[in-house]
Amino acid sequence: MIMIYCRRFHKPKVMPCERCQELLNYALHRLTLCPFQEGKTTCGKCRIHCYKPEIRQEIQKVMRIVGPKMLLYHPMLAIYHLLDGFRKSAKKSIK
């Protein structure tokens, strides 16, 4: 998603640009540190906001812009992601 965003909005000579590379590194890094791991829901619904505020804002911007386009680029992935978030938050609210 970050790559799509970068290509479309930053049009860097080298993909991804420095800023997006940082976002990407951060996202991957935090993902491995997320305490929920297996039981993890989508990050939008995660109780712990793992991103630093400024990076989180940046990521949210990417999600907002590229999110709807995910249906075009990776329809199955986007649908699974939606279902995953729905299923896990539904389960949580029953408890």
Under DSSP, the state recorded for 17 is P
- Closest listed residue to residue 71, CA positions, set 61, 82, 79, 59: 79
- Residue 43 or residue 62: which is nearer to Zn ion going by CB? 62
Task: Give the span between the Cα atoms of 3 and 8, in whole angstroms.
Answer: 8
Q: How far is the CB of 45 from Zn ion (least distance, A)?
A: 26
- Residue 16 or residue 41: which is nearer to Zn ion going by CB? 16
Q: Which residues bind Zn ion (CB under 5 A)?
A: 6, 10, 17, 20
Q: How far is the CB of 7 from Zn ion (least distance, A)?
A: 8
